[in-house]
Structure 1
């Protein structure tokens, strides 16, 4: 699997899916707090496995879509960090 160059945070995509719906209304439909969903939409929090299932059900997508999107974002961000003193374990 190739990594996407600078993938978007899943919150950006959620915002597009919501269209004109408010975060408050969407949070109510997802049965999460407005603050919880707002943090994801703003990119301040990631999509948890539970949230991935909620989004999958509500938006008629798969939970794997949201979890995968979060993983791609997290891997890209982690790849920008310089790591020192890491030694190989296997040949």
Structure 2
């Protein structure tokens, strides 16, 4: 990466970092906690879903469903289980 791209990347991170800190404060969680959720390193928990709903809108169920949809997509990418066959009930 050239130095001008690196400087611009650093400048672009400042507003994003400020936004994460501001939202984290509204959620009443540590900024590192919210940053992990935003980056995908942590999942949306039921408690976080309630907080997100109150601060950002949407229902807690919608936040949890987005997490489940993401988790399922990741699981399908990592291991599609093509070797499995349907069980035949008698």
Q: TM-score, normalised by structure 1?
A: 0.66
> When the two structures are aligned, how many residues end up with a matched partner?
72
Q: Secondary structure at the match of 1:35?
A: helix
Report the RMSD for the aligned CA atoms in angstroms.
Answer: 2.2
Shift of 1:77: 1.1
1:77 matched to 2:88? The reply is no
Identify unmatched segments of 5+ residues in structure 2: 1-15
Over 2 Å off, 4+ runs: 82-90
Larger Rg: 2
Q: Does 1:44 align with 2:48?
A: no
Structure 1 distance, partners of 2:44, 2:60, is: 10
Structure (1 or 2) with the greater helix fraction: 2
Q: Given the superposition, is the C-alpha separation of residues 90 and 56 from structure 1 closer, same or farther in structure 2, using an over 3 Å criterion? A: farther
**Structure 1 residues 85 and 45, CA, compared in 2 at 3 Å: closer, same or farther?**
same
Q: Which has the higher contact order (CA 8 A, sep 6+)?
A: 1
Which structure 1 segments of 5+ residues have no match?
A: 1-18
Name the structure 2 match of 1:66: 63
